[in-house]
Amino acid sequence: MDMKKIRVGMLGLGTVGGGTAALLQQNRTTLEEKIDAQIVLEKVLVRDPSRPRSVDLPADCLTTDPAEILDDPGIDIIIELIGGIEPARRYIFRALRNGKYVVTANKDLMAAHGTELLAVAREYNRNIFYEGSVGGGIPLIRPLQYSLAVDRIHRIVGIVNGTTNYILTRMSQDGMSLQEALVEAQEKGFAEADPGSDLEGLDAAYKLVIMAVLAFGKQITPDRVHVEGISAIKQQDIEYARELGCAVKLLAIGEQYPAGLALRVHPTLVPLDHPLASVLKEYNAVFIEGQAVGEVMFYGRGAGSLPTACSVLADIVEAARCLLYGITDGVIESKIGSTAFVPVEELRARFYLRFLAEDRSGVFASLANVFGDEKVSLDMVIQKRRVGSLAEIVLVTHDVREGSFHRALAKVLNIPAVRSDHSMIRLLG
C-alpha cells in the first residue's frame, strides 16, 4: 500500500527556511518511520528563484506567487518563515481560511497577534504551531501548553536571545568590546545584519510575551514589557560584575504579583552560583517557577538555523499527526483573561551604578544627600580607577523601590561634578 503523503508549502527560504528544508531532506526516512507518512515539500515562496542557496531544491519547487501555495487545495500545511508582521499575518489568515494547518517561527507576529490568530484557527477547526518562535531548539511552548498547564506559574526568568548571550560571553571570557563580539556573532550566523532588535532587547521581549500568555493565561501585548538592551554595557561593567561575583546577562522576567503581572527585559547581574550564569554563548535557558512543580529549567541552543529548524520540523510532524488522525484543532488553548500590570516603578531591586565624577571634596557628601533624600540605602561603594582627571565610581544599593532609585539617579546626574555617561544594571533578586 502506498504511504500517505502530507504536502507542505513554505513561505520563505532564509536562514531558518533553508535549515528546515535541509532537515526535511536529511531526515526523510526518520520522519516516515515516525508518522508512517511522507512529508513532501511541494512549494517554497522566495523573492528571487535564481539566487544561490544552501539547500538544493528543484526549480519548479520555487515560486514568487504566494497564491500558488496558500490557495492550492493539495497543500495541507503552511510553514511561515518570512518573519515580520505583514504580509505574514495576511498569509496565515488566508491559509487558515483555506483549511490548512500553520507552522510558524515568527515571534514578532505571535507576540503581537497570537491570540487573534489562534482564535481564527479555532474558528476554522485548525491550529497554529509555534514552538520555533521562542527558544530556538528548546522545547518551551509544548511544556507550557501541556505539562505545566495545570500548575500555577509564579515566575519566568530566562536568557532567550542567543545573540546577546554570545556577545556578553565573549566580552566576559575574552575581553572583547561589544562591537567586536557583535561582528564575530554576525560572522558565525548568530546575529542578523541589522542586530537592533537583539541588542535593544525587543527580540527577548517578544519571546517573553509568547511565554507569559501561556504561563499566566492572560492577554499580553509587547507594549506591556519594560525593555532595556545591552548597548550601554561596557567592558568595565563586565569586570566589575566579576569582582562582585556575578555575570552580566540579558534576562527576560515575568512575575505574578497580587496586584498583577510585571514583565521586563533588561541586563542583570546574575550571581555566579546561579545556573543562568553558566549559560554561555548562543545557548538559552529558561527557569519556570510553579506552585506545585517548583523550579524547572529548560536549556539548549537558542541561535542558529538548525536549532530553530528542528523546532519547526517538530511542529510539522505534530501538524501531520493531526491530519493523519483526524484531530481538527490540535492543541486546545487555555482561556485567556485580562489582568492588571504592575508598573516597573513599583518593583523592588538592588542596583549597580557606574559613573564618572570629579575627584574633589564634597562630591561624596552630595551623593550621600541625594540617596538619603530618596531613601536609597547603599550596600557598597567602589572607587579605584581614574579616567583622566575623573574618578570612576561604582555603587551597589540595597533592595530599593525602582521609582526611588530612578529619582535618585536623575538627581545624581544633575550634580555638576558628575558626568552624564553612566551604566545602571539590576541585580537578580
> pLDDT digits over 346-378, tens only?
999 999 999 999 999 999 999 999 999 999 999
**What is the three-class DSSP state of 145?**
helix
From start to end of 217-347, where are the E strands?
226-227, 246-257, 260-271, 283-290, 294-301
Whole-number pLDDT of residue 330:
52
For residue 320, is pLDDT > 80? yes
Whole-number pLDDT of residue 327:
82
Whole-number pLDDT of residue 192:
87
For residue 303, is pLDDT > 90? no
Rounded mean pLDDT of the chain?
A: 95
The upper half-sphere exposure of residue 329, i.e. CA atoms within 13 Å in the direction of its Cβ, equals: 12
Q: What residue ranges define each of the domains in the chain, with the CATH number in brackets? A: 4-136+306-324 (3.40.50.720), 141-301 (3.30.360.10), 344-427 (3.30.70.260)
**pLDDT tens, position by position, 132-157:** 999 999 999 999 999 998 899 999 99
**pLDDT tens, position by position, 227-251:** 999 999 999 999 999 999 999 999 9
The upper half-sphere exposure of residue 362, i.e. CA atoms within 13 Å in the direction of its Cβ, equals: 6
To the query of whether residue 100 is one of the catalytic residues in this protein, the response is no
Residue 190 pLDDT class (50, 70, 90 cuts): confident
Q: Which residue among 207, 218, 249, 281 is the active-site one? A: 207
For residue 329, is pLDDT > 70? no
Between the alpha carbon of residue 362 and those of residues 145, 258, 366, 377, 415, the distances in Å are: 58, 43, 6, 19, 11
Whole-number pLDDT of residue 189:
84
Contact present, 62 and 50 (Cβ < 8 Å) = no
Average pLDDT value for residue range 391-402:
98
Whole-number pLDDT of residue 185:
93
Average pLDDT value for residue range 64-91:
98
Residue 334 pLDDT class (50, 70, 90 cuts): low
